[in-house]
Structure 1
């Protein structure tokens, strides 16, 4: 059956012909994707606590509460598979607490994404009629909302891994719930091994036992069960709302444009308060589409319900993320443009329609070349089903897949685990801080040996370990492990005290931890570039970012100032929050606050202490070659140094998106390398005459 929806005005804004995206309802797997009444609505319902309690009792998981508790009591490790919307993430930790199975310890519930940890914690706090941070709390990077009274703690898997550095047996916890295990983030994979070993060691030493629950909607259950010692698997079933799936009749050349067309096909015909969730690949893509939706919606005033657009991606500040979950005003429609952060755990009430672009932005690290290949690629079938499951949480839903049925069938069943495709330097540092040899660590899926060796070699060059063959952390390495950062940035922060530029370096690292602060609207490109000039430094992007941050920190009317200067106030505010947290961490590591004022040479020298492996040298043919891996690269067009050719540049990362681009660049003097990292320079042949 083809879609009956069409629109005529949307395409003109993008200078493309009017288009109708046609869909088929045939389902390749004849699989019923359906959902129960809202398991995790984020905001308090109008009828207050009584309505929330009523919703709890309507969940499929609530009906089998006794059986779940019986199995949890019986087994030290249990795998729980439950449909999206069954209520497992919000309810099972409450069941355990109500039954006092947590005893004197905490229940830790890990989430792959900070958005999920924050919003689910809020929902559970409301259900338990308590304030967030008391009995129920959360911890994400640079944000801790817990207290001594917290019993249910939702936290990102990375934060639990950091806790294990100071408490490798996780003695504060009686129960660890590893939720959304199918996502297989690098931190989740490491946690599997950490909690498995902690459970075993606690049992051998006669310490209080640790229960482990591994939960997901979909995953290779036999693989997980075998890893934990053939543990039992509990399947949850329940009442559900069906989701009708549409595939396109023909392959779509431009998934972004096709998604935009589909939004307005739905918008012209669907009743008000039937909200739409669209899956896209990144912040820039989301912001661009949001701009076009707002333009097109103006032309439809009076012909369709008023439209509000909300972006959702991981670097959004918490208060901006929560805006997404607020109920839509009566007579309006909400369109949420999200990355894959909304694939799992996070439930947004009111979503009736899901538009799945079928694409995701994934990063793969190649240790041989040092390249991070950041590219938009097809999702897996497991991801497609997860996205479909976001629709119909309150009634029958609809999922429009902007790809054909044949394309769906050609997708891989599951995604490649992140541990097998990422830079492992930070993970290896954390394992060493735990006293674990990364080469012999019990990974559920072993990463490539060359990736592990490359990580150890980088830590050796940073002076974080004594040797690659028998790695043990140095005093500096132990300090570096205290920071939730890439080890190179940790090294820079710790070195900043020697250059009297701690304040400046914290600012730069905080900005590098955020998404881009610059906004370049397609229709105001020249104005945006002109406004940016007042911040530009000839020394490069790092000092340019510092100039922006210094001014932002002094301005009182921040939102208006950012708008006038084409800057992203959300990302700058997030960087400001990170700055505060890093400042506190520096104090703990006895790094006193200092400032070098306008002496930018000190800042750039300090950057060299951690990023000396990220140096590129200009060749005669006006092409750059990386000093470390001899990779041909070019300056990214977004850099303030684009179009200029300084002899030597230091870069934050090199990313392949068609060509190999250097991003976030500063000019440096070659003699600084000999001064700061003489051993490294001796091991690399460089052509500049000043280093000999």
Structure 2
């Protein structure tokens, strides 16, 4: 049973999407329908998970409507239909252009070499720079070489390709669908948190690493897949690190399963972990990149980034600009200030198209980063330029052509966990040298480029780690241990990156205190139910037991508000004061939701 509302944000009167398929709050400019699940949860297409005692209320939603619900639907009113036929597929000319461009990708030259190595080995490590084409082409190579349509006696088997974030999974599936000239959701689909866009026809599925881990909870041997591709392995997300350990166990039980691990950097440790699996490199032509450092450290990296963008547009040769920042709020402020500063220059400079990119951006907004720079305002006038301001999403998840200038402030926002006090937090920290090098390489993918590092050369050489620490070493392990218990994985000792003993011990104690584990460390009935929700253990238990306290509706709303980025923006303290509850932040968030509902 569901409540169904149409809500508008009281802050800017724009439609806001609230989806409670396992409770989530998300924004989309293209969807105006708001759906709130009260009595049960649909868990990514599996059997419904029902919270005992939860109250049934509201309007029933048809099965077909639930199946077709989309968190990231493209706003068709803002997308040109040029190049598409009436059935949603590409016309012959545009498809021909796409295939012609595809042949220029470096990985295409090594197709036969890759397939030969893969057929002879169960595991292969593939190394290629961003822009080599591995994300879109390798899955297609696999589809051509391996039989995924099996006999009537056996179910259809698919190819899975994991991505570290939803933006990358959706974008890659859309591009591959265009190349194969099929509709997204049919032969090629994607699966991200709170959204499946697949069908019975699907043979290639892009999904986040966390989604594959969740699928393993329902089908431990992942028998629906013939080949699994782990992309962007160098990102070492928490889910990817766990997948490495789990898939190593599954490979031993499924000789027919093949694994391709793709990374932008060479890591001998990764090759050793998979028992000396062959390593194959994709050879890319990298144009020269000139790297510039500041003479002294920059205390205001946001202001320095904005100044650098404006100066490049004034003084440098044609070419698009990519600037990195840490958070969505910074990106939006930077775009606004850059637009103001360049606007003051008038006709002295060419026009600009300023676009931003972060992990929660809907697909129709993502596509703007691929559009060409604007033409000159007048004939023979200064050329136009595209300026992309992005979080780390642009480092590896998406390939942006025509970038000639990269601005690297030298910082990144990362999640950390203090196991001594049990607190997880986000902190802006210096980028590692390998991440800095990856950013610089983006300026030389298609043309010779320049990278402007807003820190000193001494800082690069002496103050930064060589590699980014895997997320498993700086995260709360409670949720992961709960999943591993559900998967009946005995321990973490055979995993590639071992977390601190203190962090693991605290996670086990935390789960025991919550009643998720018994005295022998086995999963309890409560723990089994908690493991089904993609939440921190504390929130999962709070949700499961809430019907017993007759407050499931309120807890649903609080869990949703806690599962999304902070709804309060900097500089809106007076607005926030209207909602503050002296009994705590959770009730403050509940006040925000209730006011939001009243204003719908």
TM-score scaled by structure 2? 0.78
Aligned ranges 1:1-400 → 2 under 5 Å: 48-104=94-150, 105-203=157-255, 209-220=256-267, 222-270=268-316, 274-331=319-376, 332-400=384-452
SS in 1 for 2:413: strand
Distance 1:497 1:373, change over 3 A: closer
CA distance in 1, matches of 2:391, 2:245: 28
Asked whether the 8 Å contact 1:367–1:423 carries over to 2, the reply is yes
CA distance in 1, matches of 2:370, 2:557: 31
Q: Return 5+ residue gaps in structure 1 as ranges.
A: 1-41, 204-208, 557-692
Q: Return 5+ residue gaps in structure 2 as ranges.
A: 1-78, 84-92, 151-156, 377-383
Query: What is the CA distance between 1:319 and its match in structure 2?
Result: 4.2
CA distance in 1, matches of 2:109, 2:327: 39
Query: What is the CA distance between 1:465 and its match in structure 2?
Result: 0.9
Distance 1:554 1:375, change over 3 A: same
Aligned ranges 1:456-475 → 2 under 5 Å: 456-467=508-519, 470-475=520-525
CA distance in 2, matches of 1:498, 1:458: 22
Asked whether the 8 Å contact 1:359–1:377 carries over to 2, the reply is yes
Aligned ranges 1:618-633 → 2 under 5 Å: none
Report how many residues are paired.
499
CA distance in 2, matches of 1:176, 1:71: 15
Asked whether the 8 Å contact 2:412–2:430 carries over to 1, the reply is yes
Q: Confirm or deny that 1:446 pairs with 2:490.
A: no
Asked whether the 8 Å contact 1:192–1:444 carries over to 2, the reply is yes
Query: What is the CA distance between 1:482 and its match in structure 2?
Result: 1.0
Query: What is the CA distance between 1:56 and its match in structure 2?
Result: 0.9
TM-score scaled by structure 1? 0.68
SS in 1 for 2:497: coil
Query: What is the CA distance between 1:349 and its match in structure 2?
Result: 3.5
Deviations 1:520-554 (A, max 9, x none): 3xxxx4xx333344433343332332233334345
Q: Which residue of 2 aligns with 1:431?
A: 484
Distance 1:102 1:329, change over 3 A: farther
CA distance in 1, matches of 2:538, 2:363: 27
CA distance in 2, matches of 1:243, 1:212: 34
Q: Which residue of 2 aligns with 1:35?
A: none
Query: What is the CA distance between 1:44 and its match in structure 2?
Result: 10
Distance 1:485 1:327, change over 3 A: farther
Distance 1:350 1:505, change over 3 A: farther
Distance 1:308 1:550, change over 3 A: farther
Q: Which residue of 2 aligns with 1:540?
A: 584
Distance 1:553 1:459, change over 3 A: same
CA distance in 1, matches of 2:361, 2:350: 27
Asked whether the 8 Å contact 2:171–2:363 carries over to 1, the reply is no
Distance 1:541 1:297, change over 3 A: farther
Asked whether the 8 Å contact 2:402–2:447 carries over to 1, the reply is no
CA distance in 2, matches of 1:113, 1:103: 28
SS in 2 for 1:64: helix
CA distance in 1, matches of 2:280, 2:141: 16
Deviations 1:19-57 (A, max 9, x none): xxxxxxxxxxxxxxxxxxxxxxx9999762111101111
Asked whether the 8 Å contact 1:103–1:174 carries over to 2, the reply is no
CA distance in 2, matches of 1:535, 1:317: 28
Deviations 1:631-653 (A, max 9, x none): xxxxxxxxxxxxxxxxxxxxxxx
Query: What is the CA distance between 1:412 and its match in structure 2?
Result: 1.8
Pick one of 532, 538, 545 that aligns with 1:495: 545
Deviations 1:55-80 (A, max 9, x none): 11111111121111111111111111
Deviations 1:325-372 (A, max 9, x none): 444443443322222122113112443321111111222212122233
Higher-RCO chain (CA-CA 8 Å, sequence separation at least 6): 2
SS in 2 for 1:51: helix
Q: Confirm or deny that 1:422 pairs with 2:475.
A: yes
Query: What is the CA distance between 1:95 and its match in structure 2?
Result: 0.8
CA distance in 2, matches of 1:325, 1:191: 31
Asked whether the 8 Å contact 2:167–2:359 carries over to 1, the reply is yes
Deviations 1:662-686 (A, max 9, x none): xxxxxxxxxxxxxxxxxxxxxxxxx
Q: Select the structure of larger CA radius of gyration.
A: 1
